[in-house]
Structure 1
Amino acid sequence: MSAPSFASGSGRRPRAGRRTGVGVARPGLVWAVPATVFFLLFALLPLVLVAVLSFTSWDGVGAPRFNGLDNWTGLLHDPVMTRSVWLTLVLTAAGVLVQTPAGVLLGVWAAGPQRNRAVLSAVFFVPLLLSATAVSVVWRAILDPNFGVPSQLTPLFGDGNLMGSRSGAIAVLTFVGTWQWTPLHALLYQGGARAIPRVLYQAAAIDGAGKLRQFVHITLPQLRNTMITSVILMLVGGLTTFDTVLILTQGGPGTDTTNSAYYMYQQAFKSFDFGSGSAIALVLVVVATLISLAVVRFSGYDKMRGTTEGL
């Protein structure tokens, strides 16, 4: 019996290392070239340039002048930088704590068979269609202390100047961010909830489990991976929030709402200290990366993903 021919006219056996399953060939490395080039030009190269600028003194005119660790030591002893980092962490944590339960509940509800669900979901997702700048401008007009809603409800809001105090301004920033970005995370949870096998709920119902127990013991565990993705997006978004602060509070009152991203803007584009601004930008990149890696590591997502891929 003659050996079977694997390719007409070639006589070469396909390499085993190029296959991921029965009859499924792994794409070649050439397919990764466009994405790799794009990443190098628009992500890695700018990051390297920012890192280099963080060790220089440059006002945007002329050639940068190397100044060693002056920018970094200056930031370490800068009280505004310390407060901005703390505020950034507070706003990020507040966003995660508020948006996560709201996004889960809204997303699970939107995945159900309720009457008029599609129409109401479309209304809830409208803020997602607007830019952060447009949302900030609208809420600045609504919350204006002279002509906005708070000025007409003085028994509830006092003098109407919600952004005149540190706590009030932080609350406003948290609320506006929640109003805009909760629909995005609800959309993620909606897709995750629809992917849960119905047979799990049917079996739970046969065993006598009510809606609340099904939600706690089936829905939430099945949404674990979606929750990890959502939290990482919230963390990165919270650490880099800029336009909302710029339009609503401009870092005020005083420097009470000056987060790290806004402080970077002030240093680089208002004080024309691009070296210090680059150092702040690099700090944000490192902190966002470390937090994201920590979430993935301690959530066990990386181990679970590797186990799933090995099946």
Structure 2
Amino acid sequence: MTSQPQTTRMGRPGFGWALPATVFFALFALVPLLMVAVLSFTTWNGLGPPEFAGTSNWTRVFRDPVMIESIWLSLLLTALGVAVQTPLSILLGVWAAGHQRNRAVLSAVYFVPLLLSTTAVSVLWRAVLDPNFGVPSRATWLFGDGNLFGGQATAIGVLAFVSTWQFTPFHTLIYQGAARAIPPVLYQAALIDGAGRYRRFFHITLPQLRNAMITSVVLMVVGGLTTFETVLILTQGGPGTDTTISAYYMYQKAFKGFDFGAGSAVALVLVAAATVVSLVVVRASGYDRMRSSTEGL
């Protein structure tokens, strides 16, 4: 009499595995968010107890044309970041995943901006692009009067460029890891079928990078909508209010105007905008539909 081999079915991990992360997220994300939501309905200058003010903060904020402009500027900077960083990160990530000569050395040099803080990067580029002593003052034939911070278009261009310079290496790492995880058998089969380099890239590499692309774009959206240090150091919201994005507007209201109620309202608008845009990206990518169909197999 032979014994039948027993098969064990591995179920999903229990909730206990997620409990530490859940507690951490609740304490440092949900609770502060709830406190900010309550504070947005009060009047508080940082001293003494807050006083209930109803919806007056929300009314004042959305009647302020600077607030409306700051939302559009935040979305514009975010869109520029996604449009520029995504193709650059994909190309550099796929290249860094290869076996080219000196690839490791060049990748290490390229990833240096990841070692620097946003403040250090902003101070560096502020000095480099200074209209009096920086590169633009020595190359007026290219930069005109040399003051890249004097106009809205050029100031936004500088902000987008500095963000791209700093954060493209991070997203390159995401695509590098995803590209290395692509099964080599797919490329071997494509070579047997006579597919060239470009067809392999567009028909194998890009589709396999889909999940990494969703993750990268969501991180770009959240990072773009919450950009602060770069604007604070490079433009301080100027000229005028031409680069006053929502995060900097929140800083002006709360920490310069000591109007923490209005600042809290702006912070909640930022949270809602980042959440909605991220959900739209995931929904538009079809990732949720693809996942549900896979789980049904």
Interval containing the TM-score (normalised by the shorter chain): over 0.9
Cα distance in 2, alignment partners of residues 146 and 195 from structure 1: 48
CA apart distance, 1:25: 5.3
Query: What amino acid does structure 1 have at the position aligned with 2:96?
Result: A
- Report which stretch shifted further, 224-233 or 290-299: 290-299
| 1:79-132 deviation line (CA, Å, top 9, x unaligned) | 100110010010000000000000000000000111000000001111011110
Matches within 5 A, 1:30-109: 30-109=16-95
Match of 2:202 in 1: 216
Specify whether residues 26 and 215 from structure 1 end up closer, same or farther in structure 2 by C-alpha distance, changes over 3 A only. Answer: closer
Q: Which runs of 4+ in 1 moved over 4 A?
A: none
Cα distance in 2, alignment partners of residues 288 and 112 from structure 1: 34
Q: Does 1:184 align with 2:197?
A: no
| One of 221, 243, 267 as aligned partner of 1:235 | 221
Matches within 5 A, 1:118-137: 118-137=104-123
CA apart distance, 1:298: 2.0
Match of 1:17 in 2: none
Match of 1:12 in 2: none
Cα distance in 2, alignment partners of residues 146 and 177 from structure 1: 23
Match of 2:146 in 1: 160
Query: What amino acid does structure 1 have at the position aligned with 2:83?
Result: L
Q: Report the TM-score, using the length of structure 2 for normalisation.
A: 0.95
Q: Which runs of 5+ in 1 are unaligned?
A: 7-20
C-alpha RMSD of matched pairs (Å):
1.7
Q: Report the TM-score, using the length of structure 1 for normalisation.
A: 0.91
Cα distance in 2, alignment partners of residues 176 and 279 from structure 1: 28
The SS at the match of 1:27 is: coil
The SS at the match of 1:295 is: helix
Q: Does 1:288 align with 2:274?
A: yes
CA apart distance, 1:26: 4.2
Query: What amino acid does structure 1 have at the position aligned with 2:98?
Result: G
| One of 249, 252, 255 as aligned partner of 1:269 | 255
Cα distance in 2, alignment partners of residues 288 and 22 from structure 1: 42
Q: Give the structure with higher Rg (CA).
A: 1
Match of 2:240 in 1: 254
The SS at the match of 1:190 is: helix
CA apart distance, 1:63: 1.0
- Report which stretch shifted further, 192-201 or 246-255: 192-201
CA apart distance, 1:307: 3.3
Match of 2:126 in 1: 140
Cα distance in 2, alignment partners of residues 298 and 242 from structure 1: 28
Give the aligned length.
295
Q: Which runs of 5+ in 2 are unaligned?
A: none
Q: Percent identity?
A: 72
CA apart distance, 1:23: 4.8
